[in-house]
Chain A
């Protein structure tokens, strides 16, 4: 599904990703953990096509296509979804109009007809149930005045609507209370199939109690320094990031 080879990226001449290698296959859940400033959010932004970062080297293929050659909107239409760490408020754009435009742009790209208003509203209702999102939220402007938890739920709702092949959840757990965390995690789990994949970027092991990863990678100073199974997350929780830092320093 996703193959990252020696990916390097920088911002304003400062190198942040120093050669990332990662293989994600259909149906897999990968967790990427790491201390602050290790490049976790940069990786997700670069994959989603943010122009804020310069890609300095390496290659990324997504379902056999060169991802780095594609515009951000085409990456989304190809089935890549980024759940933002800090979702953007867009006053004046209604959630319904936003989602309708997004869904139809996806369909247009795939050569399908636009969805009828009736079908769209039905889909909206169904997906709202999946992520337990309030009716109030979809009748408002995009993220405007939403609480932190509501914004994160809204990201998962958008993910449900767009049915991506690969979802990257960037610190979706940050700022969530236990109930909101459960709702968000349940949403992600319900959307899981054997054909789609998820990359969970997180600071803490807490979210991984709800979304069980197949693989855990530790990102530090722009490189993946350790990979393992879900037990690696527990080990990390127990020993802290200093353990990794020391190991890297020694190595």
Chain B
């Protein structure tokens, strides 16, 4: 089962899997989702699984994720045990509306348990195709649609379920919504989760997505999330990635912003063997602001790759990016930050920063800022560093009696803190801080808070 397989063979296996199960994939879904499949699988066929060296995958071999044999479930898991009772989130005391998805499938009891006010809509995307056909028709696959992303096309071909969230015009949600994605099974599993979020005009909402594994099998989760943020809306997206170190995770987040909207996305990667995050943000209206932050703390043989693409398609928008990584042992990581300022996008402000610390000689980090600027009245900056821990700062702390281990902890925490300081939910910022500290101290197990202890 673990013999090496080349990427072309794997591609045909996956296409074959699609063709064999087309009926099961389509079952129970309307044309609004199904009509995109054929074109997407053809597109996936033409692109293939991204190879290392491809412009957008220079430092990441996707066959690490795709080159394993996985099972696939074309039906919702028959939940025998209520996930609520076996899982307690590692972010305690956070007052949120909680929604659970298991292996990419929306959990049937969410409605009664989440306590969401009836002013907003949270549904399985399956149900949404029936209940909100016009929104699905308008927004589904609108952004993700076959624009050079093989993994996204692959998702579109297979997608059967995920979260649909609709915050109608003018609704301000006080509490954040927390989505807990659980992966568990008795066999290796490939999951294509598909989420769609529509933030209506003048709405304000915050979403926290926690990714976990509850059993030790190899998992590959390939998740696509499309977010449409209408005029004057404010939307925050926090993603805490804490899957086990034999799992692979590919996420693709697409955000389109209309006039005067403001978004923030923050990706915290704690555990996970192989992680690739794609973030695409496009400004379609003027006077928008987008903030993209990421912090990854990796060790062992973990690999994490953050790819961001910010498309300044119109004038007068601002984007801020800050990505940081702390790498220990033989961990590797990459950052690719593309900023495109189109010819008419005057008065663009775009700032990007990528800082990384390698704690050992065997840890590696690759960073690639990629700015394409076609307008002349803009302010753009970028900075990238890969370094070791600051010896002078370390000596300064030691000279005050703070021991080597504690001093290193302090400096790593300080390094991480800059990313945490941009979180717009105060209590979440505190919890993030605790999670980061635990992770740095090596005290955070991936099964934190779970009493199944499957390993």
Contact = CB atoms under 8 A, between A and B. Distances in A.
Interface stretch (A31-39, A102-110, A180-188, A227-235): A102-110
B288 to A, nearest CB: 29
B401 A77 contact: yes
A101 B398 contact: no
A158 B418 contact: no
Interface in A65-108: 71-73, 75-77, 81-82, 84, 87-88, 90-93, 97-98, 101-102, 105-106
Contacts, number: 79
Contact of A76 (B401, B404, B410, B418): B401
Given A105-B401, A162-B401, A92 B396 contact: no
B401 A102 contact: yes
A73 B410 contact: no
A93 B410 contact: yes
B138 interface: no
Contact of A158 (B390, B400, B404): B400
Nearest to B420: A92
Interface string B396-408: 1111111110110
B392 interface: yes
Contacts of A76: 398-401
Main secondary structure of the interface of B (DSSP, over half): helix
A76 B406 CA distance: 15
B5 interface: no
Contact of A84 (B390, B396, B418): B396
Contacts of A149: none
- Place the interface of chain A in its size category: 20 to 34
B410 A49 contact: no
Interface residues of B, number: 24
Contacts of B91: none
Contact of A72 (B399, B414, B416): B399
A50 interface: yes
B74 interface: no
Interface string B412-423: 011111100000
B404 A88 contact: no
Interface in B283-337: none
A81 B418 CA distance: 30
Contacts of B418: 91-92
Contact of B399 (A82, A97, A101): A82
A158 B400 CA distance: 8
A101 B402 contact: yes
Nearest to A86: B392
Contacts of B404: 71, 73
Contacts of B451: none
A51 interface: yes
Contacts of B393: 88, 90
A48, A81, A92, A141 — most chain B CB neighbours (10 Å): A92
Contacts of A141: 414
Given A73-B402, A101-B406, A91 B395 contact: no
A102 to B, nearest CB: 4
Given A72-B395, A101-B406, A93 B400 contact: no
Given A71-B404, A101-B406, A105-B403, A90 B411 contact: yes
A92 B406 contact: no
Contacts of B403: 71, 73, 105
Interface in A14-54: 48-52
B400 A102 contact: yes
A158 B413 CA distance: 21
Interface string B370-408: 000000000000000000001111011111111110110
A87 B415 CA distance: 18
B414 A90 contact: yes
Contact of A87 (B396, B407, B417): B396
A87 B392 CA distance: 9
30 contacts: A49-B398, A49-B399, A52-B395, A71-B403, A72-B395, A73-B399, A75-B399, A76-B399, A77-B401, A88-B390, A88-B392, A88-B393, A88-B396, A90-B410, A90-B411, A91-B414, A91-B418, A92-B413, A92-B417, A92-B418, A93-B411, A93-B413, A98-B402, A101-B402, A101-B410, A102-B397, A105-B401, A106-B401, A162-B400, A162-B401
Given A75-B399, A88-B390, 5 more contacts: A90-B411, A92-B415, A92-B418, A98-B397, A162-B400
